[in-house]
Amino acid sequence: MTLPRIVIERCQYLARCTEEPGAITRPFASEAMRCAHERVGEWMREAGMSVRRDNVGNLRGRYEGTADATVLLGSHLDSVRDAGKYDGPLGVIIAIAAVQRLHDRGRRMPFAIEVLAFADEEGLRFGSTYLGSRAVSGSFDTRDLDRTDSGGITMREAIRAFGGDPDSIDEDRWRGGSLLGYVEAHIEQGPVLEARGLPVGVVTGIAGQDRHVLTFKGEAGHAGTVPMDRRRDALVAAAIFVETVAAYAEGHPVPGLVATVGQLTVRPGATNVIPGEVTLSLDVRHPDDAERILTSKRLLDVAADIGSHRHIAVEASHVADNAATPCSPRLTALLVRAVEDLDHPVVELASGAGHDAVAMSALTDVAMLFVRCKGGVSHNPAESVTTEDVAVAIDVVSRFLELLAEE
Ligand code: GLV
Ligand code: MN
Ligand code: MN
């Protein structure tokens, strides 16, 4: 079987590592993640790498070079709920394939290559983003260890149960000497490459992102007996807020703003009970940080206003705040040259999705390669890539490594 075909089959294989039968849901530090680690660890070893798992739960494969410096390649193995097969795993498995190719040829580069399979990019279990890459870059916030998942398990407990030491996350910080950068391949998650008829694109930067959790607290009561003018219905206030968020982003004069309420929990949650409490998520993104911060503030003010009109207490907590991240001009130029050397037209594009490269930029230069995905669809089981495009992506990463070696 060809290497690109193996990559596709491996992504399909990892789809079986899930905590929801019939769907792909692979949260941080879960049994599904343990399943993914077993397989990915084997693939790393087959490619000539030594493998270890760190405290936060990243899987790290290392292919030694002939000199001291290291280049980092990778992406994440966790997923959203009911995910596709490629968001995250594709980047990890393409990186392993590029190393496999060197190993098969008995080649060593003048630098080590470390493939990082990150533990949590999506934040499905604890809401916060980039737990794995933050640990490596030294920007992990230990206050996050007290966060709880929907079952009341703290992150500290989850890390321990997965086999890591939550009190030693600091040891996960990069300590391997000089770094040449971090490069991540990822599906595009947008329509540009497909519209242009191109297999890959080079990323210029990643939009900033805010995540908030809002709680609307009213009063539960009997749906048949409490008169309408005496109700403090938390869901009605929350629903007005959801509508306002969409209208605000749709009508915003500065292009590039997106705002989403993606998660909503209604308590107590029964047909004949007035909703007493609603918790919802708010995700705000814009390429310009000032615009994002202003929007978040306005929307939180709106939530408070809606609450006070309807006698609902509104509490907000800021769970993620990621600045817009430019990619490194030096590494990006090498990726561009790699694409050109393979005779493909170069398109440079910005990412609206977040990536581990954001957290890694606190440690080293970062660059990203996007791979065309069908219909631009992601965070959806319909995610799809072609073997031909994966072949181009492996070739570009391999060529990039050659160019880096020539530098
Ligand atoms: C990750 O996929 C994100 O952009 O939220
Ligand atoms: Mn994602
Ligand atoms: Mn991703």
| Cβ of residue 122 lying under 6 Å from some atom of ligand 1 | yes
Which ligand has the nearest atom to the CA of 353?
1
Portion of the chain with pLDDT greater than 90, in percent: 98
Q: What is the 237 CA–ligand 3 centroid distance (Å)? A: 32
Reported as a pLDDT band with limits 50, 70 and 90, residue 297 is very high
Half-sphere exposure of 96 (CA within 13 A, CB side): 32
**Alpha helices by DSSP H, 125-175:** 131-137, 155-162
Distance, in Å, from the CA atom of 275 to the CA atom of 219, rounded to the nearest integer, reads: 7
How far apart are alpha carbons 51 and 203 in whole angstroms?
29
Do the Cβ atoms of 376 and 189 come closer than 8 Å?
yes
323: closest CA among 281, 370, 286, 378?
286
pLDDT tens, position by position, 177-206? 999 999 999 999 999 999 999 999 999 999
Q: Which atom, in ligand 1's list, is nearest to the CA of 379?
A: 2
Closest CA to 203 of 355, 387, 398, 395: 355
Give 253's DSSP letter: S
Ligand 1 atom nearest to 80, measured from its CA: 2
For ion ligand 2, residues whose CB falls within 5 Å: 87
Task: Tell me the ligand closest to 188's alpha carbon.
Answer: 3
- Is 299 a residue whose pLDDT tops 90? yes
φ/ψ of 271, rounded to 5, equals -55, -40
Question: H-helix or E-strand containing 112?
Answer: strand 112-118
354 lines ligand 1 (CB under 6 A): yes
Report the first-to-last Cα separation within the chain, whole angstroms: 33
Quick one: what percent of the chain has pLDDT higher than 70? 100
Distance, in Å, from the CA atom of 130 to the CA atom of 52, rounded to the nearest integer, reads: 19
**Cα 86 to middle of ligand 3, angstroms:** 8
| The pLDDT value given to residue 255 | 87
In whole angstroms, give the CA distance from residue 124 to residue 28: 7
The 10s digit of each residue's pLDDT in 81-133 is 999 999 999 999 999 999 999 999 999 999 999 999 999 999 999 988 999 99
Of 90, 118, 379, 380, the residue with max ligand 1 atoms within 8 A of its CB, to mutate for a pocket test, comes to 379
**What DSSP character marks residue 328?**
P
User: Rounded distance, CA 381 to CA 374, Å?
Assistant: 12
The amino acid at 261: V
pLDDT greater than 90 at residue 253: no
Choose which residue among 26, 76, 325, 355 to substitute to test ligand 1 binding: the one with the highest number of ligand atoms within 8 A of its C-beta. Answer: 355
